[in-house]
């Protein structure tokens, strides 16, 4: 039987590197971070498969390639403070914690927020902070952020509080749309976000009070 380390090495080679992710720090982080520690007990056998995996409450941990692609697109230099919307399993936050200074991550489903916090603690990660709440409001007490990542899709546009909480020149990456979604990288210039379209994707929808209202 292959060890967890062997499975991670194969995942990086076949699913991530072969599809074009080149950032050495991102690749090494994926080799080191045990994805199996972030999925439910009955899904551990599939932890390194090339797909999203259900984590309960109708939510998923994203496909490894997409997590790596988004991390690379943020071009992190290890000094950033990042906001993530949609903690889910906590895996993405754990990965980002190795690539930046601090990660603030918000999860709307209380049970998932608690479980993710425990999984992150178990990895002895001290620079990722989990909050339960509606991420479309952002985390104003900790703003401004150098980068923001959304792993749940707002239906039309980026919620205004997130635009406000991003630094000038900061990067925000998000899937946007309902039936079909477009993953885009946005750079903040003045009060606007300049979008760069990356690829079509399928994420779970953003839920919460203002996801459908607060648009720019």
Residues that bind ligand SAM (CB under 6 A): 59-62, 85-86, 88-89, 91-92, 106-109, 112, 134-136, 151-152, 203-204, 206-208, 211
Is the Cβ of residue 149 or residue 193 nearer to ligand SAM in the bound state? 149
Q: Strand locations in the chain, DSSP E?
A: 53-56, 59-61, 81-85, 102-107, 128-132, 145-150, 166-176, 181-189, 192-201
Question: Are 210 and 135 within 8 A, CB to CB?
Answer: no
Distances (CA, A) of 54 to 58, 84, 115: 7, 19, 14
Min dist. Cβ of residue 121 to ligand SAM (A): 15
Tokens 């403070």 belong to 81
Min dist. Cβ of residue 18 to ligand SAM (A): 22
Min dist. Cβ of residue 53 to ligand SAM (A): 9
Question: Are 68 and 83 within 8 A, CB to CB?
Answer: no
Is the Cβ of residue 135 or residue 177 nearer to ligand SAM in the bound state? 135
Active site residue 77: no
Is the Cβ of residue 2 or residue 114 nearer to ligand SAM in the bound state? 114
Is the Cβ of residue 108 or residue 166 nearer to ligand SAM in the bound state? 108
Distance CA 141, CA 109 (A): 21
Min dist. Cβ of residue 23 to ligand SAM (A): 18
- The torsion of the CA quartet 156, 130, 170, 195, rounded to 10 degrees, works out to -20
Strand partners, 120: none
Min dist. Cβ of residue 20 to ligand SAM (A): 21
**Cα 153-126-68 angle, rounded to 5 deg:** 40
Is the Cβ of residue 176 or residue 211 nearer to ligand SAM in the bound state? 211
Q: Where are the alpha helices (DSSP H) in 108-165?
A: 110-122, 160-164
* Residue of 62, 89, 97, 136 marked active site: 62
Catalytic residues, by residue number, are 62
């Amino acid at each position: 039987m292959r060890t967890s380390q062997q499975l991670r090495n194969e995942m990086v080679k076949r699913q991530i590197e072969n599809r074009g992710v080149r950032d050495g720090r991102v690749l090494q982080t994926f080799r080191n971070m045990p994805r199996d520690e972030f999925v439910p007990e009955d899904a551990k056998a599939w932890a390194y498969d090339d797909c999203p995996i259900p984590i309960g409450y109708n939510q998923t941990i994203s496909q490894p390639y997409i997590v790596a692609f988004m991390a690379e697109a943020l071009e992190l230099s290890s000094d950033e403070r990042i906001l993530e919307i949609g903690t889910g399993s906590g895996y993405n936050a754990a990965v980002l914690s190795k690539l930046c200074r601090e990660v603030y991550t918000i999860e709307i489903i209380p049970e998932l927020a608690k479980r993710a916090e425990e999984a992150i603690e178990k990895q002895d990660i001290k620079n990722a902070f989990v909050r339960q709440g509606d991420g479309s409001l952002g985390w104003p007490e900790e703003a401004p952020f150098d980068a923001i990542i959304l792993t749940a899709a707002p239906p039309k546009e980026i919620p205004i509080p997130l635009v406000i909480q991003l630094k000038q020149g900061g990067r925000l990456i998000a899937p946007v749309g309902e039936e079909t979604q477009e993953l885009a990288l946005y750079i903040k210039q003045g009060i606007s976000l300049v979008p760069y379209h990356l690829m079509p994707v399928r994420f779970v929808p953003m839920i919460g009070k203002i996801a459908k209202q607060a648009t720019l």
